[in-house]
Amino acid sequence: MSPKKRGKIAVLISGRGSNFKALHDAIRTGKMNAEMALVFSNKEDAPGLGIARQRGLETLYLNPKLFTSREDYDKAVIHQIRKRDIDLICLAGYMRVLTPLFCQQFKHRIMNIHPALLPSFPGLHVQQKAIDWGVRFSGATVHFVSEEVDMGPIILQAVVPVLQDDTEETLAARILVEEHKIYPEAARLFFEGRLEIRGRKVFIR
Ligand code: GAR
């Protein structure tokens, strides 16, 4: 998108929302020229929704049980996003796999943060998987979302050491500190029009 326009961002969450907060903090402190137009959740009791409300942001919850299929649910979410003229969708601990329909509607305009160095350790419980493999380094990845889960073009990564006495919790906490740095940075690069996707690679201009 043009670097001059003030972009609109929607964040999709299912839980705590610390990455949503990091993104919003970057906007509040003027590090990113964007407006957070929607904080959406598939979980009514997601703590992140409460934080968003406290911050005066527009929030929305849609109950998946009221929809007959995953595609119908995603159609409703797409409608809400389109209504607000959103430029960038950030998945931040959104624990629902997007349907191909959703991915196609917003090609190269959906980002995700993942707590491992992709393509290693896609999926869930990846901090424990990194410990169990005995890798010396893990980290965080921000990538564009494609139909194949956790496999879209990589935008930014941060590396953290895996220590011998790490537990899932201690490693997750060390990775989270880096997540909160690279997610706002990736979104900022997007809104500055500096991300160019060629094939499966992202070039930063
Ligand atoms: C983060 O660690 C994020 O990387 C991870 O969920 C956590 C959400 O925390 N996402 C995934 O595992 C996606 N596959 P948050 O709600 O505090 O941002």
Q: Which protein residue's CA is at the shortest distance from atom 3 of ligand 1?
A: 93
Q: For ligand 1, atom 9, which residue shows the shortest CA distance?
A: 93
Whether the full predicted model's pTM is greater than 0.85, yes or no, is: yes
**DSSP states of 105-172:** HTTT-EEEEESS-TTSS-SSSHHHHHHHHT-SEEEEEEEE--SSTT-SPEEEEEEEEPPTT--HHHHH
What residues does ligand 1 touch, defined as CB less than 6 Å away? 13, 15-19, 48, 92-93, 113-115, 176, 179
Describe the crossing of helices 168-191 and 126-133 by its angle, rounded to 10 degrees: 120
Q: What is the largest CA-CA distance in the chain?
A: 49
Nearest CA to ligand 1 atom 2: 115
Q: Are 143 and 184 in contact (CB under 8 A)?
A: no
Encoded amino acid at 189, one letter: L
Residue 144 CA to ligand 1 centre (angstroms): 15
Contacts of 92 (CB under 8 A, 6+ apart): 11, 12, 13, 17, 19, 20, 23, 48, 113, 183
Tens-digit pLDDT profile for the chain (205 aa)? 555 578 999 999 999 999 999 999 999 999 999 999 999 999 999 999 999 999 999 999 999 999 999 999 999 999 999 999 999 999 999 999 999 999 999 999 999 999 999 999 999 999 999 999 999 999 999 999 999 999 999 999 999 999 999 999 999 999 999 999 999 999 999 999 999 999 999 999 9
Kindly list the catalytic residues: 114
